[in-house]
Structure 1
Amino acid sequence: MRKPIIVLLGPTASGKTEVALSLAKKVNAEIISADSMQVYKYLNLGTAKPSRRIRQTIPHHLIDIKYPDEEFSAGEFQLRAIKAIERIFKKEKLPILIGGTALYIRTITDGICPIPSRNDKVRKHLSQLAKKYGRSYLYKRLGKIDKQACEKIHPNNLKRIIRALEIYSLTKIPFSAWQDRRYSLPYPIITFGLDWERNLVYERIGRRVDEMIKEGLVGEVKRLLTKGYSKRLNSLQGLGYRQAIEFLEGKYDRERMKYLIKRDTRRYAKRQLTWWRKDGRIHWIKMDEGKKAKEVAGEIKNICQRKRFLV
């Protein structure tokens, strides 16, 4: 029997971490984070990063691997995750992939082929062309080399137009062709989702945001800015961080900051659920406030055994 990769997903504040920890103990596993923000050092409270104590109990991978001013892509995630999976299997353990970043998860579950990383020189040249001739010039240029991508990208979305042209410039392969490529992992994969009523998820998000701010999110952001990290970095545009920066700049008061973080996180959770509901491969586990993480982990283990992923 081939050992599986267990994937655990769910919207923000759905209790993934607690369930993954209980499951890891039950099935002798290590955890791989599929969270685009937890890769960054110093971003702790706003990313709900597991504590060092927890990570010493159960080994975690792909956490604190980048500084806030370093680039990180889905392609790099895939390469690092595959290496972590192979290391875990060599230890005779199981990998549990956990997170809420759908694209990262899909690089493993669907084998999306990693697109080449950004090239600042090419981007700068394309940006200069856009300034000189307008974004319509680049859009027409994209239409000549990749009609399929052009149909999906709005003419005003300069960022995506430049990315599509950048990919073609680097590889001579159209952006749409890269999106159609697949890489198949030689391991069985079983995916579970934590299924909450939407109003309960929203309540949990509200409590999490209150706790994050109480524990010192604003202070964490202050320290990042004091270290010299620019507010324009992708890492500091994440949920909670952008709003905290604008609060520190005096754009609104603390209550407005809390409201905006909660609102934007609810919107993000809604998008996550809308995306995952389309995937018929996911085994949804019904959740409520009375259900303990150990109980959910036991349910997941039983399904794995019933479907012969585990003995």
Structure 2
Amino acid sequence: MVDRQTKPLAIALMGPTAAGKTDLAMALHHHLNAEIISVDSALVYRGLNIGAAKPSAAELAAVPHRLIDIRDPAEPYSAADFCKDATHEITNIVAAGRTPLLVGGTMLYFKALLEGLSDMPASQPAVRAQIEQEALAIGWPGMHQHLMDIDPETARELHPNHSHRISRALEVYRISGKTMSHFRANSGSGLLDSYQWVQLAVAPRDRAVLHQRIATRFENMLDAGLLGEVEALYRRGDLHPDLPAIRAVGYRQVWEYLSGEIDRSEMVARGVAATRQLAKRQLTWLRGWPDLCWIDTQNASGDLLEVDEIVNKALSFLPQRPI
């Protein structure tokens, strides 16, 4: 067996939305011989900038991020796509003598990359259409309850209105007779044993602090032009709410506002609530994550730490490697 210390170092930086992952990653980039790989299901799409909290053009010029702006919003991007692309990028970064720094909040992508993807059945349009017909009759929360009866482990990871993933989990079961959690438990080999992974999670320990950051950030996004950004996507004519890009938190709620389904105040309330729900799901994933090093962004008095203090905490978890 290869000794863990002889394996190339790779860093995974996770955390809930609005916790400060991107700022920390860019600061770490300056301290380490590292290159950043984005692990975010919204940042892969071109045109999703403000609402996805994409680094600015100036920031990306100074600190390049891989796997950003690689798909048109009309083209869905899957966990399997991410695993293929991320594996390629990690290999190239290590071959160049640098350290891959994977940063983001899409926990499913991290899990698939580290633990491997299972051999789940391919989608069958007829089965999916039947599921969507049933959802029209009883709603996605009702379908979520069906999934809870069949596969509680998967259902507990999903919001009752996460139509795409609920539909896929039910589809997998109806096609194969096996649950999605069964396939995951018997997944193929991932990259966990191929590198010396340091897995970090950054978040304030006080949930109220995170909630306030979420509310403030959503208002700042609106001030920065989020409505215009989504309107440009809306006017394209080839996009619709069932696409993963348009279902992204924030975009879905603004889309509903632009289509006249809700007013502006409801859009803001739903956008903030959806972001808080996303953060809750991310934290639920992280609490059960093995070998995770937590970086608390608050001091003993509850005040937020300065960036340099957070960076030093992160650096303290990295191994001392021979030169």
Distance 2:132 2:22 in 1: 44
Helix, strand or coil: the match of 2:318?
A: helix
Cα 1:184–1:253 shift into 2, 3 Å: closer
Which of 114, 124, 141 does residue 126 from structure 2 map onto? 124
Gaps of 5+ in 1: 136-148
Could you tell me which runs of 5 or more consecutive residues in structure 2 were left unpaired when the two chains were aligned: 1-5, 138-148, 161-165
* 1:204 aligns to 2:213 (yes or no): yes
Query: Structure 1 residues 114 and 66 mapped into 2: Cα distance closer, same or farther (>3 Å)?
Result: farther
- How much identity, in percent, do the aligned residues show? 31
Cα 1:150–1:94 shift into 2, 3 Å = same
Select which of 176, 199, 210 maps to 1:191: 199
SS at match of 1:304: coil
Tell me if the contact between 1:78 and 1:104 (Cα under 8 Å) persists in the aligned partners.
yes
Aligned residues: CA RMSD: 2.8
1:93 corresponds to which residue?
A: 98
**Structure 1 residue 211: Cα displacement:** 0.5
Residue 256 of structure 2 is aligned to residue 246 of structure 1: yes
Residue 66 of structure 2 aligns with which residue?
61
- Report how many aligned residue pairs link the two structures: 286
2:119 and 2:187 in contact (8 A); partners too: no
Equivalent AA in structure 1 for residue 97 of structure 2: E
Structure 1 equivalent of residue 57 of structure 2 = 52
| 1:83-162 to 2 correspondences below 5 Å | 83-109=88-114, 111-113=115-117, 115=119, 118-119=122-123, 122-124=124-126, 127=129, 150-152=150-152, 159-162=168-171
Deviations 1:241-296 (A, max 9, x none): 11111111223322221111111111111121122112241111111354222332
In structure 2, how many angstroms separate the alpha carbons of the residues matched to 1:273 and 1:63?
24
Distance 1:212 1:128 in 2: 38
Q: TM-score, normalised by structure 1?
A: 0.83
Q: Deviations over 1:124-175 (max 9, x none)?
A: 366359969xx9xxxxxxxxxxxxx945478x96542223445x49xxx985
For residues 178-219 of structure 1, the C-alpha deviation after alignment (integer angstroms, 9 at most, x for no partner) is 322231421111111113111110011011001100011111
User: Which amino acid in the other structure matches residue 266 of structure 2?
Assistant: R
2:235 aligns to what? 226
Q: Could you tell me which of 261, 273, 287 is aligned with 2:271?
A: 261
The change in CA–CA distance for 1:310 and 1:241 in structure 2 (over 3 A counts) is farther
Give the counterpart letter for 2:256 in structure 1.
Answer: E
Q: 2:198·2:317 contact (CA, 8 Å) conserved in 1?
A: no
Match of 2:295 among 278, 285, 288: 285
Does 2:188 align with 1:182? yes
Structure 2 CA distance for partners of 1:61 and 1:117, relative to 1, 3 Å: farther
Comparing 260-269 with 246-255, greater Cα deviation is found at 246-255
Which amino acid is the alignment partner of residue 241 of structure 1? Y
Partner of 2:163: none
